[in-house]
Structure 1
Amino acid sequence: MIGAGIGGLTTAIALRERGIGVEILEAAPQLRTTGTGLGLGPNAVAVLAALGIDLADGSVGQVLEQFELRTDKGKLMRQLPIRDIVTELGAPFVNLHRNELIAVLRAAAGDVAITFGAAVERYDVTVDGVSVTCADGRTASADVLIGADGIRSVVRAQRAGGEAINEYGYVCWLATIPFEHEHLTTGYAGHYWGRGQRFGLIDIGGGNAYWWGTKNLGIVGSRSWQGSTADVLAAYDGWASEVTDVIAATPDSAVVAVPAQDRSFVDTWGEGPVTLVGDAAHPMLTSLAQGAGSAIEDGYVLAHCLAATADPTLALRRYEDARRERTRTLVANSRRLSRIEQIDNPVASTLRNFGIRYTPMSVVKRQNMDPLRFDLPVN
């Protein structure tokens, strides 16, 4: 397997649970520790529980208790029925630092071998399976190759050629810091919607907050942003106090800036004994918060298919068939929601906020639950 991120580690754990040997090649010199926060929905939390990883026990992160949509000034537009949703789905939402999740996954992977500093340059399908060649000349071979190497996947690039990455003209700022505020209660998540920009403030436990912000800057501006925390703060001048306070408390070094990106969905993820998982297969915008969750689902389904099918190549095609429509829908709906979220037109944004306030709760509940529904495959 190529890549030791969330998708790669989850896949390795699921394969190991099924008695299937796995080795990971990772281009980085060590496990990445530069991430910020993320949220895992009940779909992902349930998959990890099936692999023996209980994120609801309070040892890492924070279970979501309250989710509000507010205006840029902090006025409440809608409170989502989180308790009803998690009761119906049978698992909680958990917000945590990416590094915490990686540490938990690495521990659960046990004796799975990870070779760091192994930047794969190409793969070759052989009569016995597949071989890979690294930048330093090292080679490795296996029955199956799984590309879990992210949106700029080398494995995907070799199969699909020079695909363009889609850019949407807004930047995403992200940070995690120790932070206390009267509005940041235990288990709180608040999304603040303005014109052409948004903000999220989330309790991730241990006295820490995860925040993210977006702003329409155009493709070039979003791709090349290199400002300071003061610049981010200026972008949110006049917003709710909890928004400006958490930005002001954030050192420059803690802010990560990335442009909003995805790729056009492709139906074919692999060939022969090669396939993809996570962002390598179906990178998506963050609007549904399902990038990590869908990668975790991928790993579980892939391991199930390999364990249930004698022919590895056939197993990979069954895995892809099982995942294609769900992930296609997540990519498309993330993109659709992103357009609504980033509306800059004053009339359109007013209508959007009106819809948030007055859409029937039954519709709101269904819209939020649909991306979270995932049935674990059974033998």
Structure 2
Amino acid sequence: MRLEDGNAIEGDALIAADGIHSVVRKKSLSTINPRYSGYTCWRAVVKPPKEFVIPGEFTETWGSKGRFGMAPLTNNQIYWFACINAPFQSKDMSAFTTNELSHAFQDYHFPVPELIKWTGDEKLIWNDIIDLKPTNRFALDKILLIGDAAHATTPNIGQGAGQAIEDAIILSKILKYKKCREEAFLEFENLRMPKTKKVINLSWRIGKVAQLDNPFQIKIRNAIMRRLPAKIQENQLESVFHTDF
């Protein structure tokens, strides 16, 4: 393999953990590309006035204009995100300041618009939300894709980094008793593909439901959510969070 600085390295195998825009995946599986979720997102970490924060409480608000989430951090900081349905790589969205963003969420409950407006523009991080549609290949002879290079997911159930960590643990266990790299990589693929596919599909569905902007569909969604037993939701998430190592 030749590196950017011109140096070349050799090895028995290659484990590619180079993210959703993986160069290795593009070379090996050129037809697999990131897909756009249909919504774009702004994020920030700030230290707002204390009245803006409920200690220890994470909240996510779904509305017709978009979705807004808040999570408290250490040192009285708060992480927040705002998602709006938009065309892919929209120039209008990329130009949004906190003023435009707070206006978009002006009808939401306290402290959503206030928190956005309080945030400095320099704190904003903006990205379209993308993932990888589940694939049937992680192992490619002596090449193995792991983490976001193999199974990038939307952030709706917070499992992107978690699944990458699971990959590392399971792969390390397999490599301890499988000396043939090709066999080890295939076993990893067989073990990890069903779980990561479930995570990707569940997160994708949750994102679509959360980002509904049709009033009639929102009314139906909200009615179902109110009547859905908490145990059903817990069982669905338990199947994602549990892994047999």
* TM category, shorter: over 0.9
Larger strand proportion of the pair: 1
Give runs of aligned pairs for residues 267-278 of structure 1, distance below 5 A.
267-278=136-147
Instruction: Identify the residue that residue 198 of structure 1 maps to in structure 2.
Output: 67
State the distance in 2 between where 1:191 and 1:222 align: 26
State the distance in 2 between where 1:361 and 1:283 align: 28
State the distance in 1 between where 2:59 and 2:176 align: 41
The alpha-carbon deviation at position 350 of structure 1 amounts to: 1.4
Instruction: Identify the residue that residue 115 of structure 2 maps to in structure 1.
Output: 246
**Letter of the aligned partner of 2:29 in structure 1?**
A
Instruction: Identify the residue that residue 40 of structure 1 maps to in structure 2.
Output: none
State the distance in 2 between where 1:272 and 1:370 align: 30
Instruction: Identify the residue that residue 303 of structure 1 maps to in structure 2.
Output: 172
One of 20, 36, 40 as aligned partner of 1:167? 36
Aligned length: 245
One of 339, 353, 360 as aligned partner of 2:208? 339
State the distance in 1 between where 2:22 and 2:173 align: 23
SS of the residue 2:9 aligns to: strand
RMSD, aligned α-carbons? 1.7
Write out per-residue CA displacement over residues 273-326 of structure 1, whole angstroms, 9 at most, x where no aligned residue.
211111100111111211111111111111111112121221111111110000
Instruction: Identify the residue that residue 293 of structure 1 maps to in structure 2.
Output: 162
Structure 1's 196 and 261: CA in aligned 2 closer, same or farther, altered over 3 A?
farther
Write out per-residue CA displacement over residues 232-259 of structure 1, whole angstroms, 9 at most, x where no aligned residue.
1111112111212221221111111111
Give runs of aligned pairs for residues 342-353 of structure 1, distance below 5 A.
342-353=211-222
Q: Tell me if 1:319 matches 2:188.
A: yes
Q: TM-score, normalized by length of structure 1? A: 0.62
State the distance in 1 between where 2:191 and 2:91 align: 35
SS of the residue 1:141 aligns to: coil
Write out per-residue CA displacement over residues 319-377 of structure 1, whole angstroms, 9 at most, x where no aligned residue.
1111000001111111111111111110111121122222112213223322211122x
State the distance in 1 between where 2:9 and 2:55 align: 47
Larger helix proportion of the pair: 2
Instruction: Identify the residue that residue 97 of structure 1 maps to in structure 2.
Output: none
Unaligned runs of 5+ in 2: none
Identity %, equivalent residues: 27
Instruction: Identify the residue that residue 229 of structure 2 maps to in structure 1.
Output: 360
Unaligned runs of 5+ in 1: 1-131
SS of the residue 2:179 aligns to: coil
Structure 1's 367 and 170: CA in aligned 2 closer, same or farther, altered over 3 A?
same
Q: Tell me if 1:218 matches 2:87.
A: yes
Q: TM-score, normalized by length of structure 2? A: 0.93
